[in-house]
Amino acid sequence: MGRNKLIYALADYGLVVSADHKKGGTWEGAVEELKRKPGRPVFIRMTGSVPVGNRKLVELGGVAFPGTASYESPAGLLKNASAEIAIPPEAGDLPLFTHVR
């Protein structure tokens, strides 16, 4: 589970396709990132057969992943959607890990 921090740290945003409610690494990683302030935008798939975990992640602050009809690629869609989410400019100054002495 510790690798979730690194995955999100290296990413511009997260995309959850399918998450079990309160189970597994996908759920834990997304919840951890949603709690981190400011964190990366976490998009959640909300089309087709949507698991309960996905719905709960949106309730916790995840952003419903919009359909791709108006974009050529999912990457373009994520880039444009994340640009619309306000993230304070000092977000890059926050440490990912806290030092324990």
Task: Tell me the pLDDT of the chain (101 aa) as tens digits.
Answer: 678 788 888 888 899 999 999 999 899 999 999 998 888 899 999 988 999 999 999 999 999 987 655 556 767 777 777 766 655 555 455 555 665 55
- pLDDT of amino acid 68: 54
**Amino acid (1-letter code) at residue 81:** A
Note the pLDDT of residue 84.
66
**Number of structural domains the chain divides into:** 1
What does the longest C-alpha to C-alpha distance in the chain come to? 51
Query: Within 13 A of 101's CA, how many CA atoms are on the CB side?
Result: 0
Domain extent for 64: 3-87
User: Is 96 part of a structural domain of the chain?
Assistant: no
Closest CA to 77 of 63, 65, 93, 62: 65
In a domain, 95, yes or no: no
Within-domain flag for 32: yes
